[in-house]
Amino acid sequence: MHKIYDYLVIGAGPAGMAASIEASKAGLSVLVLDQAASAGGQIYRNLAQASDQQTKLLGPDYVAGKPLLARFMAANCDYQPLVQVWHIETHEHGFAVAAMLHGKSITFITSHLLLANGAMERPMAIAGWHKPGVMTAGAGQVLLKSSALLPKQVVLAGSGPLLLLLAQQYRAAGVTIMAFLDTTPGVNYWQAMPWLVAGLTTPKQLFKGLWLTLAQRIKGPYISGVSHLEVMGNEQVSGVRYTVAGRVYELECKLLMLHQGLVAETQMAQLLGCTQAWNETQQCWQTQADAAGQTSVSGVQVVGDAGHIGGADLAQLQGRVAGINRAKNASLTGSWLSNRVNLGLLFRLKHLRWARGLVDRLYRPAAWLFKPTGSTIVCRCEQVSAATISAIADGGCAGVNQLKRFTRAGMGACQGRQCGPNLAYLVAHAQQRSVSEVEPLSVRPPLSPISLGQLAKRPRL
Amino acid sequence: MTDSLFRHGLEDAPQCVLIVNGVEHQVPMQSSVAAALHYLGYLATRAHPVSGEPRAPFCHMGVCFECLVSIDGQPQQRACLTQVMPNMSIDQVGVGTY
């Protein structure tokens, strides 16, 4: 007989940890599943094990996760690291979550689900992005946090707070930043201007952000107004080509890190049938949810960057609200006191999300990024080029799901995570439709690869 | 395998043996397999099953599946999600057509 949990939380980042703390405090039986070896999510990755030298490099925002991590480790909830959820289905008691642990599939049963599985970096399909020597800025941060690995020298290209933060951390660690190629379109600065008011209501973050952007410009080499990035080289990266004000430049390098903001990881919510909505400002599909994370599917909540990209503070706050709300529905707490706490939290939540509007507008990705052409690989797994995809889209293909059947784009191991958004942009562009009208790739199990043997050995429920 | 584009940021980090394509190496213990491969100078981790071109880890967080290698005899493992263990054997690095 399986144990039936009251609350199964997927992801042990700031949102998942905060929700688990609240729900277990209220007496619910909580299980937290996480892909990583230790809790913290991407932002506080490896925080519990990081040495003093590492935490010094990573700065105060990293160490800020320590109290939350300590409360999570002390919370009365079950926590299972190193699991990979590959399927979620409905079950007579709620939901059955199938996950891989040490090469075996195990199933967990829960009445309620919280999706706190975070975000991934927006795939930046520039020419040659599949060549060895190109990785994401997030990859650079992961290498630093979990393995203390630093590049000897690197070119950073793209736009967004994470790229600026990485530049600062690398400089502090003595890494040579050969160039910071900023693709933020000039028009963004004007469009973000009215949102300065929102930014001013969170002055600490605003000044930190200002300092990060200014520091890059002062310390250099910093190049703004960059567009049409291209990776040069055959077997691996030999350089990067880019355009500034109509002139083309080339820069030799062996390592290039790209960043273009984050997109929510919606696959689990899609699999469960949660209603999705296109967010024009953040340029990604998101799972529709209320302030407590409640989705269109009863018993399923989504919080943190898995729902709406907002960063660690907002994720933690939303996790708390979601956890408290879940406990209230289970009528284990439900006193007037928790209600009032909730209102205060809700107000802070709304405020932080509003203030985030400044970042969203300032770092909106440039339009040229969504129009890969020619031999540029769009689907990395199946090696499908932009030209192939555009030709099929020009021919009147109904959408990305039909395109997938014609070209195999989206059928590979990453399950369309790296190509899905760009397929939609290319279809929208070819057919002069808005990308919000192009239905995203359908999601089917397994969410991550599982061998037939492992599937066959899966215990019956 | 070429000169590594990376260096380890900590002094006196404890090391252990990692066997890559049959050759023993010393690598920092607190490291993902993908990071340890980069440390040793391996950039590409697989050969693309369609084009045969070398591919290297792109996301280092389990999304892109570019870092597939054989780990202790298990094929198609994500090197970025696997922690280095003493005497772990990593095969097919740069040549596995996964």
The CATH number of the domain holding residue A19 is 3.50.50.60
Q: Are A306 and A264 in contact (CB under 8 A)?
A: yes
Rounded Cα distance, A193 and A199, in Å: 10
**Contacts with A412 from chain B: Cβ below 8 Å:** 65
Separation between Cα atoms, residue A123 and residue B64, nearest integer Å: 10
* Beta pairing, strands B88-91 & B15-20: parallel
Same domain, A192 and A215: yes
Task: Tell me what pLDDT residue A335 has.
Answer: 58
> Mean pLDDT in each 10-residue stretch from start to end of chain A (461 residues)?
92 98 95 95 93 88 95 98 96 96 94 97 97 98 95 98 96 96 96 94 92 91 96 96 98 98 97 96 95 94 96 95 87 58 85 94 95 97 97 94 96 94 96 94 93 88 70
Q: Are residues A384 and A313 in the same domain?
A: no
Q: Which residues of B touch A (CB under 8 A)?
A: 4-11, 13, 28, 30-32, 35-36, 38-39, 43-44, 48, 50-51, 53-66, 68, 74, 76, 80-81, 83
Would residue A41 count as lying in a domain? yes
Asked whether the bond before A221 is cis by omega within 30 degrees of 0, the reply is: yes
Distance CA A56, CA A257 (A): 22
Instruction: Write out chain B residues lying below 8 Å of A120, CB-based.
Output: 59, 61, 63
Q: Is residue A360 part of a domain?
A: no
CB contact under 8 A, A255 and B5: yes
| Residue in B with minimal Cα distance to A149 | B8
Radius of gyration of chain B from Cα atoms?
12
Same-domain status, A134 and A252: yes
Chain A: closest CA distance from residue B14 (Å)? 12
Q: Show the domain range for A112.
A: 4-120+263-334
Per-residue DSSP letter, A127? B
Interface test with A, best of B10, B31, B97 (most A CBs within 10 A): B10
Indicate whether A173 and A227 sit together in one domain.
Answer: yes
Predicted confidence at residue A372, as pLDDT, reads 96
Residue in chain B closest to A132 (alpha carbons) equals: B56
CA of A346: how far to CAs of A292, A294, A340, B53, in Å?
Answer: 8, 14, 10, 51
Strand A94-101 versus strand A83-91 pairing type? antiparallel
Local structure of A315: helix, strand or coil = helix
pLDDT at A54: 86
Chain B partners within 8 Å of A150 (Cβ): 6-9
Residue B22: its pLDDT value, please? Answer: 97
Residues of chain A neighbouring B81 (CB-CB closer than 8 A):
35-36, 84
At residue A194's C-alpha, the angle toward residues A356 and A319, to 5°, is 10
Tell me if A83 sits within 8 A of A34, measured CB to CB.
yes
Contact criterion met (CB < 8 Å) for B61 and A173 = no
- Do A129 and A250 reside in the same domain of the chain? yes
CA–CA distance, A381 with A123 (Å, rounded to integer): 13
Note the helical H segments in A98-234: 137-147, 161-172, 186-192, 196-200, 203-219
* pTM of the predicted structure, to 2 decimals: 0.96
CB pair distance less than 8 Å for A236 and B57:
no
Boundary (domain end) residue, out of A317, A334, A351: A334
A271 lies in some domain: yes
Reference A329, options A356, A352, A298, A360; nearest CA is: A298
Cis peptide before A446 (omega within 30 of 0): yes
Residue A355 domain flag: no
Q: How many domains would you assign to chain A?
A: 3
Look up the ipTM and state it.
0.97
Residue A454 placed within a domain: no
Give CA–CA dist A262/A310, Å, rounded: 10
Q: Which residues of chain A make contact with B60, given a CB cutoff of 8 A?
A: 135-136, 138-139, 142-143
CA proximity to A274, closest of A109, A414, A113, A400:
A113
Residue A295: both structure tokens together: 């989705």
The answer to the question of residue A270 being in a domain is yes
Split at pLDDT 50, 70, 90, the class of B98 is confident
β-pair type (A300-302, B54-55):
unpaired
Q: Name the residue among A281, A307, A304, A284 with its Cα closest to residue A296.
A: A307
A250 strand-pairing partners? A241
Alpha-helix runs per DSSP H in A195-311: 196-200, 203-219, 267-271
- Chain A residues close to B30, C-beta within 8 Å: 49, 146-148
Domain shared by A26 and A128, yes or no: no
Residue A337: phi and psi, rounded to 5, are -65, -50
